[in-house]
Structure 1
C-alpha cells in the first residue's frame, strides 16, 4: 500500500464515521442541519444567496454505506451554496492590484493562503467577480480526470479573493471547512464526481451535478475531532511516504543490482567451480592465437598493431589460476561499422545504428536504407554474420545483441565482435561479459553531448578468459539464475 492508498483509506474511514468515536453530548447532525437550513433561508431572504433548484429526495437504494446513528445523509447542495467563478482572461491579469485566484493556480493543498499563487486584477474587475472568502472551499470543475481542491484562507490579511472560471466556491456552509475538503478528497466523493462528470481525458462537472452528490454529515463537534485526527495522522503518512518511496526505489534497483552481482561473480570465476580436466585458459589462448595467425596468413583478416603487455596495475580483480587475462582483440575479432553517412534512399539495404539496438534484439521498424553498392562497401570491412555480437558504441552505449541474421544489413557506429574460431570461444560468455561491462563503459565513455567508446578502447579492453567448457557452464548457470531476478521485478 503506497502513501496515497493509505491516505485514501484514512479519508474513507473518516467519512464513514469510523475514525473517531461518537459522543452523545455533541448532539446530532439533524440538529446541525436544522440550523443550516434556517441560516440558508435567512440568506436567501436577505438576497445574499440565490435560492437553489429543488434537489431530489434521498432514496434508500442510493445510500452507499452505513453511517453512525447521530449522522445524516444530505445532498451537497443542501449545505451552503455553490457559486461558479467568473471568467478572468489572461490579458486581464496585472502585476499588482486586487487578488484573484485562477483555475491553474488551484492545487490539492487542503489549506491555501494563495500567497504565491494568486494573480491580480483591477478593482473594477475585482468588484464584478464572484469571491472566495476565508473558510470557503474552492474546487475545480474541469481537469485532467483528477480532483483539485483547496480551502481558501487569506492573502496578506485580506479574506476576500476574486475567483476565476472553471472552478466553484462552496460557501455559507456552517460546517468545518476542512471536513468538507477531506470529504471531497475521499475515494467515495471522488468516485461520485467522476461518475457525474462528462469527458474522458479532460473532464467537467457542473454545479448542478455537484449539488446532487450524497454527503454523510456528522455533528459539528465531531467534525472538528475528525479533522484533528486526520491532521494528527497526515504527518505520519508523509513519513511513511518517504520510507515507502525509498523502499520502492530499492525494490526497483535490487533486481538489476542482483543481476550485476551474478555477472560479477561469473566474471571472477566464483559462479561455478573450476575443473582440472577442462584444461586451462593458457591452452585455449594458444589455440586462438594460432587460428588468428592462420587467418592473417590466408588474408582473411588484417594484421593489427602489437597490443601492449598487460600491466599489474591494470588488472581490476583476481581470477582463478586456470584463467587468463587477455586483451579483447587477442581472442575476438573486434571491428566497427562505417563512420561515414551514406546517402539514404526510400528502400534498399537496412543500415543499423545504435538506435536500432534495444532489449537484446534488433529493431528494423525505424531503420534507414542505403543502396546495395554502399552496403557492399561497408560489408567488405564489417560484414555481420549470425552469432556475431553488436554493441552500441556511440550515444546510448551498450545493449549487446547476439545476431540471428534473417536479412542482409550493415552497421554504422556499432562495435562488432566476431569469433576467430567458433569452436574456441562461447559467444554467450562474451555476450554476458559485455552486458556487465556496459555499465562501466557508460561511466568512462568519452565525448560531451554524445558519448562514445573508440574501437581502440574495445580492442585493448581487458577480458577474463576461462577454459572453453567452463565458459559454457558459466553461461548455463547465468541463464538459470537471471530469471529469478526478473521475477523480483514483478
Structure 2
C-alpha cells in the first residue's frame, strides 16, 4: 500500500464500512500487481502460459479433457489496466478448467458442501460433511482438492462467497449447484491468488452487471467467468502476493476486533452513565448529573445507538417524574381525573364513546411504584377514550384504485394515501400488532393530525386535550410493552391488554412542562444525530478519495 494510504489507515478503517473497503482495496491492489514488488529473477508469466498450454495439450491428447476452440488474446481495449513487467493478461478458461466433473466409486467417502458452509473471507474457509459419492455425484456441483469455488447466484455472489476447497474426504467433493468451479493446472496457479481475483472489486463489480435472470434469481454466466480478463503474475509472485494479503487481512482482523472491543466498552460506559441519571433522586439531582454528563457529550454520544439510548433514557426519566421539578402549587392529578370523568360523559352523550364514565385510580398499596408528589396511578383505559370502532381497513388493491389525498395510517405511521378521511382532529395512535411492538424500531405511539384515515392495525385514542395526548404518547414510548403483548410470530396488543397498562399521571401543568422539556432534549439529540451523520458522510467521502487515489496511483 502507498505511504499516503498507510498514513491514513486509522481514518480509512474508522469510516463507515471502512474496514470492508480496506479489504477490497487490498485485493484490488493485489491483482493489479501493486501490493508486492516485482522480482526480475521470477520466471515471467509468458513462460507460465507456455507450460499451461503444453499441459492442456497433453490432457487433450490423452482424452482427459475435451478439445476446445482457441481463445482470443485479451485485446488492449479489454484490459482494465496496465500490468507490471512479467505479468500477462489471460482468461481463466485459458489457464484452468471451468466446472469440471469428478469420477469415483459410489462407495467412496467424499465431502459435501452446501452454500451455507462457504465463507466470505479471504481465508478461503469452508465447512463440510462426509457423504458417499454415490449419494452426491448427481444433481450437485463437483469439485476436488485445490479447486476454487465461487457463488454464482445473487446475493451470494455480491457477498463474495467463494473458497478454496481443502482437506476434502479422499480429495473430492460435491455441493450446492449455485457454484462455478475453477480447477488450476498443477503447479501453474496458486489457488488463493485466483481466490483474491474472484473476491476483488474489479471482478465483483463487473460481474454484478453481467448477471442474468430475474430479481432474486440472478446468476453469473459461466461465459463471464471463463472469458473475463484475468491478470496472471509469475508463479513465485503469486505466492508472495498471497502471503502479503494474508498479512494485511490479519491487520484488518485486528482493527475490526479493536473496533468491536471499543464499541462494547463504549456501550457499557454509556449504559452505566445513563443508569446514573435514572438513579437520580429528583429533578434537582438529575440536573446536576446531566450537567456533568453534558460536558462529555461529544465523546459519549458518538454513535446512533448511543443517541437512541439517550433518547430512551430521557423518556424514562420523564415518566418517572425526574425530568422537571414538581411544583407544590400545581393542581393535583386527582382533580384532573375528575375532569376526565366529565369529559368521558360528554363523549358518551355525543355517541363517540361507549365505555364507562368513571375514573378509578389504582390504590396506593397496589401501585407499581411510589408516585411523585401530586401524581396518581391510574389504568390506561380509565383515562382514555377509545375510537377503535371508527377505524375502517381498506385493502392495498382497493387503495390503488382511489385518489391519493389524505394520509392512511397503519401500526407504525402513514403507509399510504386515500381519497377520504375518518378523523379530523389530533388523536393518539398506538400500534396494535406487528414486530415493532417488540423490537421498537420506530415509536409505538404517535399523534396523527389533520384529516386522515386509520386502518385496524393501530388503536385510536382521544383524550381531554392534545397536551394530555402528548404526555400519554411519550409515556407509552418510554415503557416496556412486552407484558401487554401476546403472540410471538404475530405480536399483538389488544384493547384489553392496553387498557390494563398502569399510568403514572402528573398534574396537567406538570405534563406540559414535561412535554416541553422532552421536546427540547429530543431536539438536542436530533441535532447531535444530524452532526454525527454529516461527520460520517465527510469521513466516508475522504475515505473514498483515499481509495480512489491509491487505485489511480496503482
Q: Same fold (TM over 0.5)?
A: yes
Who is 2:169 aligned against? 156
In the alignment, is the contact (CA less than 8 A) between 1:337 and 1:414 conserved in 2? yes
Q: Which entry has the higher C-alpha Rg, 1 or 2? A: 1
Who is 2:8 aligned against? none
In the alignment, is the contact (CA less than 8 A) between 1:139 and 1:168 conserved in 2? yes
In the alignment, is the contact (CA less than 8 A) between 1:393 and 1:413 conserved in 2? yes
The CA distance in 1 between the partners of 2:127 and 2:381, in whole Å, is: 69
Who is 2:375 aligned against? 324
Who is 1:280 aligned against? 330
The CA distance in 1 between the partners of 2:224 and 2:344, in whole Å, is: 82
Is 2:474 the counterpart of 1:432? yes
* Structure 1 alignment gaps of length 5 or more: 89-93, 348-354, 368-382
User: Which deviates more from structure 2 when the two are superposed, residues 23-32 or residues 450-459?
Assistant: 450-459
How does 1:27-42 map onto structure 2 within 5 Å? 27-42=43-58
SS at match of 1:280: coil
Change (3 A) 1:293 1:47: closer
The CA distance in 2 between the partners of 1:456 and 1:149, in whole Å, is: 50
Deviation at 1:179, TM superposition (A): 0.9
Who is 1:471 aligned against? 511
More helix by share: 2
Deviation at 1:15, TM superposition (A): 0.9
Which digits, 9 at most, give the CA deviation of each residue in 1:418-474, with x for residues without a partner?
A: 21xx39x5432232222223xx2x232264555546658746723241452x53344
Which digits, 9 at most, give the CA deviation of each residue in 1:267-309, with x for residues without a partner?
A: 3455456778xx4142x64365257359759985844374343
The CA distance in 2 between the partners of 1:412 and 1:25, in whole Å, is: 73
How does 1:17-416 map onto structure 2 within 5 Å? 17-85=33-101, 99=110, 107-108=118-119, 111=124, 115-116=128-129, 120-121=133-134, 132-139=143-150, 146=158, 148-159=161-172, 167-172=180-185, 174-199=188-213, 201=215, 202-238=217-253, 240-241=255-256, 247=263, 251=303, 253-271=305-323, 279-282=329-332, 285-286=334-335, 289=338, 292=341, 300=349, 302-304=356-358, 306-311=360-365, 314-315=368-369, 319=372, 323-327=374-378, 332-335=383-386, 337=388, 357-360=410-413, 386-392=425-431, 397=437, 399-404=444-449, 406=451, 414=459, 416=461
User: Which deviates more from structure 2 when the two are superposed, residues 97-106 or residues 44-53?
Assistant: 97-106
| Number of residue pairs the alignment of both structures matches | 443
Deviation at 1:217, TM superposition (A): 2.0
SS at match of 1:327: strand
TM value normalised by structure 2: 0.63
SS at match of 2:444: strand
TM value normalised by structure 1: 0.69
The CA distance in 1 between the partners of 2:162 and 2:344, in whole Å, is: 74
* Structure 2 alignment gaps of length 5 or more: 1-16, 268-302, 350-354, 399-407, 438-442, 534-554
Deviation at 1:404, TM superposition (A): 3.6
SS at match of 1:314: coil
Task: Compute the RMSD of aligned alpha carbons.
Answer: 5.0
Deviation at 1:142, TM superposition (A): 5.4
Who is 1:91 aligned against? none
